[in-house]
Chains A and B, each alone.
Chain A
């Protein structure tokens, strides 16, 4: 079994890329999603329509196509590959595509959450002399978070596995690493068992995320 350290080493490198993409996507998509949600809820009609139009385009087309367009468009059409060369350039392009895509999905979940907080809460804030932004921060926000934990959990777990789509622009994430041993790499060829290990990485990662999200749900159950 001297193949095991070689395979695990390769999988670990790929998994690191997967993890980086996962966390950067969440870091960017959580705030951007809120901004888009405010746009979609805006009372200024042009902004509302523009926001909803963008969300429709991004949610209505496959992430895979968005990855290809975002990565190749600047170089092929504008003659200037803004992403930079090599793996790091591919990573930045992938991160941009993922952040925008997931922000749009999150924005609809946020919108549902904000609209799910009873309007009486806002009225109570208004009669107590609170401004609209104070009402959002001090009254609506935590109630909204509690409402959106289940649907956002779904999106986060989907993201764990969606990161593998980045291989379409040759980002060397974990499935790429595992699959290389099917074709032949580092002296190992025709081996399917690395794919099972790859799946196992995903399984463990998903279990950890699920456990953390359950703890969050429990923490928010002190009120209802």
Chain B
């Protein structure tokens, strides 16, 4: 069984069918890019994987364990839901950084809360300041790896878009998720800042990191991915390696989409 298995996801908003049966799988260490026009269901698919959207049908499994079985609606406790969600990290298009915390605290907030809850559940003594110092060290190292060591005490309102998105990536990485999801990470950035964020994402690629990136950056998708999915009208129109999908697309819709995307105006 693959590391991530998504089976038959169907999602409608009212009478609008947005996802019409999505199946795909991903191995550990692979990078998947999801491309397609607006409205094809890319973001909804990403959000269905960690329970931000509730599909009507389908299952999501990670590491052999069925995390969400949407065919069998079940009310999860806060605890269960949190444990399942933490398999995924999420980087949003408009960053969603917490404006009242500086860069370092943005990263350590969730880590501290999680450490406290874990200790309480295990009925262990919890040393708040020692745990916080440890988390600060981990967060500082990760922030250094995305090039933001000099900005630890700055607030999000003092940073550029590219810097904000790098903080968002670091914040997601601090919780060590199995699969890191990016929802159009550079769509809100100008071309200059887009490059710095794409470089960071490329730098994360390793045998340990599994990533899913919804993006409009075709060159990036081609260079970085191991697998590409092209979505149109709520279904997977085409999937395969970057060379297969970009170099030799089989479907007419894929060909037309790629032609439009690479068209110089």
Interface of A with B (CB < 8 Å)? 118, 120-121, 123-132, 134, 138-139, 142-143, 146, 222-224
A137: nearest residue on chain B (CB-CB)?
A: B113
* Chain A contacts for B90, CB-based, 8 A: 127
**In contact, A223 and B100 (Cβ under 8 angstroms):** yes
**In contact, A127 and B109 (Cβ under 8 angstroms):** no
**In contact, A130 and B155 (Cβ under 8 angstroms):** no
Query: Distance in Å from the Cβ of B153 to the closest Cβ of chain A?
Result: 12
**In contact, B113 and A138 (Cβ under 8 angstroms):** yes
Query: Distance in Å from the Cβ of B10 to the closest Cβ of chain A?
Result: 22
- Which one of B94, B96, B171, B175 has the greatest number of beta carbons of chain A within 10 Å? B96
Q: Does B70 contact A (CB under 8 A)?
A: no
In whole angstroms, what is the CA distance A223 to B98 when docked? 10
Q: Which of A127, A128, A131, A223 sits near B78, CB closer than 8 Å? A: A131
Contacting chain A: which of B81-89, B143-151, B239-247?
A: B81-89
Q: Does B110 contact A (CB under 8 A)?
A: yes
**Given A128-B110, A138-B113, A121 and B96 touching (CB < 8 A)?**
yes
Query: Distance in Å from the Cβ of B126 to the closest Cβ of chain A?
Result: 16
Closest 9 CB pairs of A and B: A128-B110, A124-B96, A127-B90, A120-B96, A129-B82, A223-B99, A131-B78, A129-B86, A142-B100
Count of B interface residues, CB-CB < 8 Å: 27
* Chain A contacts for B114, CB-based, 8 A: 129
* Chain B contacts for A130, CB-based, 8 A: 82, 110, 113
**In contact, A138 and B157 (Cβ under 8 angstroms):** no
Question: Could you list 8 examples of A-B contacts with CB < 8 Å?
Answer: A120-B92, A124-B98, A127-B52, A127-B172, A129-B83, A130-B113, A139-B98, A146-B100
